[in-house]
Amino acid sequence: MSLELHENVSLQPFNTFGIHVSARLFAQAGNEQDVREALALAAERGLPLLVIGGGSNLLLTRDVEALVLRMASRGLRIVEDDGESVVVEAEAGEPWHPFVQWSIAQGLAGLENLSLIPGTVGAAPIQNIGAYGVEIKDVFAGLTALDQQTGELREFTLGECAFGYRDSLFKRQAGRWIILRVRFRLLRNAQLHLEYGPVRQRLQEMGIESATSADVSRAICAIRSEKLPDPAVLGNAGSFFKNPVVSAALAERIRAEHPDLVAYPVGEGEMKLAAGWLIERAGWKGYQDGDAGVHRLQALVLVNYGDAQGQQLLDLARRIQADILQRFGVTLEIEPNVL
């Protein structure tokens, strides 16, 4: 037995909101064998298994009556290389941003727009992380997961993951699959994505004419650091709501009253609205109630100013949802997993 099991462990260091709740049992898995041991131990004790990565997409509202298993497996390797395109494989417990930096240092492009996203490699496919015009699905080459129901390993191809906007099969079948390692197809000759919002402009300001993936990564880090709070300094879980997709008719009705509405066409007769804009326009940006608040620079991000409880943050989110529904007729969906 290599797995170290601990009783009644505070999860505060293991969730980026910094919420104080405890786990009935807690362990860290360094490899597949540890994961299997944890599954057996949880079954023995009659507790569910709750697998976490960086805890950066999680809102904990009460003590967790489960065996909380933090994925801590490490390892990065190149598994295919045809000179132009390369498949890299990363273990689930690898922290995301250092992995992105490693790939750039290998001269590989594809992940630069996803720089500085908190969390781990294994959690990334669950919500199909995305930023500045790129999502995991765009560079995804496969993953290996353990089926909690059967104990068998299964390989997933892109199509089988059913990726959508902040969505996947693994999110919809929560509690079934434990992602062990993920593969990405990256390119030696960068095909950079600079179209999204401020990216190209930021590169110009940095005096860069012909950008490399390292330049794009630096630009994205600068943009993110300006707008998004660092969880090490101010507890948060990134965007707390998804950007809602509404009918073009509803978007037009809102625009008639608010000509500066931020909206992008997606598919037939549908528009994606910037939830941050709606929340800011409704007056919530910078709002604070005790230690729970709405970030003062990015209204989509809820923050813990110190000792906020998960329930307090959830109550604030519910008030925002009700207000946005009442004012604009738009339903906001919560993005992180609420437990």
Segment contacting ligand EPU by CB under 6 A, of 40-48, 102-110, 147-155, 269-277: 269-277
Catalytic position from the list 94, 183, 239, 281: 239
Which one of 262, 266, 314, 334 is in contact with ligand EPU (CB under 6 A)?
262
Give yes or no for residue 300 binding ligand EPU (CB under 6 A).
Answer: yes
160 catalytic per annotation:
no
The two structure tokens encoding residue 73: 């497996």
Rg (alpha carbons) of the chain, rounded to whole number: 21
- CB of 33 vs ligand EPU, minimal distance in Å: 32
Per-residue CA distances from 306 to 29, 75, 168, 235, 274 (Å): 29, 34, 32, 8, 28
Give yes or no for residue 200 binding ligand EPU (CB under 6 A).
Answer: no
| Spatial CB neighbours of 47, under 8 Å, sequence gap ≥ 6 | 24, 25, 65, 66, 67
Give yes or no for residue 272 binding ligand EPU (CB under 6 A).
Answer: no
Number of other CB atoms surrounding residue 225 within 10 Å = 11
Q: Report the relative pairing of strands 58-59 and 337-338 from DSSP bridges.
A: parallel
* Nearer Cβ to ligand EPU (101/128): 128
Instruction: Give the whole-angstrom CA distance, residue 11 versus residue 26.
Output: 9
Segment contacting ligand EPU by CB under 6 A, of 13-21, 149-157, 294-302, 312-320: 294-302
* Nearer Cβ to ligand EPU (28/236): 236
From the centroid of its chain, how far is CA 69? 18
Segment contacting ligand EPU by CB under 6 A, of 20-28, 208-216, 274-282, 314-322: 274-282
| Spatial CB neighbours of 84, under 8 Å, sequence gap ≥ 6 | 187, 188, 189
Residue type (1 letter), 65:
E
* Nearer Cβ to ligand EPU (131/179): 131
Per-residue CA distances from 253 to 5, 281, 283, 323 (Å): 56, 16, 20, 17
Per-residue CA distances from 126 to 44, 157, 198, 256, 278 (Å): 27, 14, 27, 37, 26
Which one of 13, 151, 175, 197 is in contact with ligand EPU (CB under 6 A)?
197
Give yes or no for residue 263 binding ligand EPU (CB under 6 A).
Answer: no
Give yes or no for residue 276 binding ligand EPU (CB under 6 A).
Answer: yes
* Nearer Cβ to ligand EPU (26/132): 132
* Nearer Cβ to ligand EPU (76/165): 165
Residue 124 near residue 95 (C-beta atoms within 8 A)? no
List the interface residues with ligand EPU, window 45-64 (CB under 6 A): none
Segment contacting ligand EPU by CB under 6 A, of 156-164, 168-176, 237-245, 302-310: 237-245
* Nearer Cβ to ligand EPU (270/280): 280
| Spatial CB neighbours of 24, under 8 Å, sequence gap ≥ 6 | 7, 8, 47, 63, 64, 65, 66, 67
Give yes or no for residue 338 binding ligand EPU (CB under 6 A).
Answer: no
The two structure tokens encoding residue 27: 């362990």
Instruction: Give the whole-angstrom CA distance, residue 25 versus residue 41.
Output: 10
Which one of 274, 282, 334, 338 is in contact with ligand EPU (CB under 6 A)?
274
The two structure tokens encoding residue 181: 């390692």
Catalytic position from the list 166, 202, 218, 281: 166
* Nearer Cβ to ligand EPU (239/309): 239
166 catalytic per annotation:
yes
335 catalytic per annotation:
yes
Supply the residues annotated as catalytic.
166, 239, 335
Residues of the shown chain interacting with ligand EPU in the complex, contacts defined by CB under 6 A: 131-132, 197, 227-228, 238-239, 242-243, 262, 274, 276-277, 280, 285, 298-300, 335
